[in-house]
């Protein structure tokens, strides 16, 4: 199996029925894949499998060439995620979040540019806990993307974003893939399907 994301014959059970089964998905470096389907169809579950938070009942799965395991530091450094339970530090400002990321990953950060890109330039010094829901979403997206990664996993990143934010998100996914990452996005935002290299659609 090749590619940063490679799944073959993947199946996950939910109680006594199969949530999905026989799923094949290969996402190469520089490509994006979108997972679409109704509530409860298994999109988040698939992303949890890709991050190694849940093991599939059957099939083969490799992310960055290994069986996914979120407990491994090296794996977490190569795979960046925005999942349902992703959090920020409520006491820290967006600027401090960027500094923290730069410190953790040993990267030089242009804080002003990073905040401007995510639409938080004028909220740079506001504690994250006081930001609006959409602004907090932008901060989480900043946290997931303003760091090095080979694979990016996003679960319904459009949640709480305004119209301009959703357009920016669509552009961001294209930009991140064009820079060489493999991106997998579970979404209810149709425009993302049109920019994706691969679409997994349930229901
Ligand atoms: N291991 C499991 N055992 C039992 N049920 C499970 C298991 N894993 C997932 N489920 C159930 O399967 C369904 C799929 O959930 P999931 O969150 O993956 O769907 P989703 O497509 O992301 O939905 P939404 O669009 O609402 O976010 C849920 O009802 C969940 O409770």
* Residue 180 belongs to some domain of the structure: no
* Pocket lining: 45 vs ligand 1, CB cutoff 6 Å: yes
* Residue 60 belongs to some domain of the structure: no
Average pLDDT over residues 162-184: 96
Q: What is the DSSP letter of 132?
A: -
CA–CA dist 68, 52 (Å, integer): 4
What is the structure's pLDDT at 109?
74
Closest CA to 21 of 48, 51, 59: 59
The alpha carbon of 155 and the centre of ligand 1 are apart by a number of angstroms equal to 13
**What digits encode the pLDDT tens for the residues 120-150?**
999 999 999 999 999 999 999 999 999 999 9
Average pLDDT over residues 18-47: 96
* Pocket lining: 11 vs ligand 1, CB cutoff 6 Å: no
* Residue 113 belongs to some domain of the structure: yes
- 48 CA closest ligand 1 atom index: 18
163 versus 203: which is more confidently predicted?
163
8 A C-beta contact, residue 183 and residue 27: yes
* Residue 42 belongs to some domain of the structure: no
* Residue 123 belongs to some domain of the structure: yes
Q: How far is CA 195 from CA 31, 50, 146, in A?
A: 10, 21, 21
- Structural domains counted in the chain: 1
* Residue 111 belongs to some domain of the structure: yes
Q: Is the pLDDT of residue 58 over 90?
A: yes
Q: Is the pLDDT of residue 1 over 80?
A: no
**What digits encode the pLDDT tens for the residues 63-121?**
999 999 999 999 999 999 999 888 999 999 999 999 998 888 887 778 899 999 999 99
The alpha carbon of 42 and the centre of ligand 1 are apart by a number of angstroms equal to 5
8 A C-beta contact, residue 163 and residue 140: no
Average pLDDT over residues 158-165: 95
* Residue 100 belongs to some domain of the structure: yes
Domain limits for position 133: 89-147
What is the structure's pLDDT at 103?
86
* Residue 132 belongs to some domain of the structure: yes
The alpha carbon of 50 and the centre of ligand 1 are apart by a number of angstroms equal to 15
CA–CA dist 196, 169 (Å, integer): 13
The alpha carbon of 102 and the centre of ligand 1 are apart by a number of angstroms equal to 34
- 188 CA closest ligand 1 atom index: 25
Q: Mean pLDDT across the chain, nearest whole number?
A: 94
Q: What is the ipTM of this complex?
A: 0.89
């Amino acid at each position: 199996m090749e590619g940063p994301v490679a799944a073959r014959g993947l199946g996950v059970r939910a109680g006594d029925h199969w949530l999905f089964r026989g799923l094949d998905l290969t996402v190469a470096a520089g490509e994006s894949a979108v997972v679409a389907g109704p509530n409860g169809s298994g999109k988040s579950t698939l992303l949890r499998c890709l991050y190694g938070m849940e093991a599939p009942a059957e099939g083969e799965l490799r992310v960055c060439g290994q069986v996914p395991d979120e407990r491994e530091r090296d794996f977490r450094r190569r795979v960046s995620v925005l999942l349902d339970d992703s959090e920020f530090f409520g006491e820290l400002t967006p600027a401090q979040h960027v500094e923290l990321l730069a410190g953790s990953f040993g990267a030089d950060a242009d804080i002003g540019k990073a905040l401007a890109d995510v639409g938080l330039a004028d909220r740079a010094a506001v504690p994250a806990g006081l930001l609006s829901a959409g602004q907090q979403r932008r901060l989480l997206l900043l946290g997931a993307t303003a760091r090095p990664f080979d694979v990016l996993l996003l679960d319904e990143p459009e949640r709480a974003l305004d119209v301009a934010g959703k357009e920016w998100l669509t552009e961001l996914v294209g930009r991140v893939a064009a820079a060489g990452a493999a991106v997998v996005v579970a979404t209810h935002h149709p425009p993302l399907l049109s920019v994706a290299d691969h679409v997994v659609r349930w229901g």
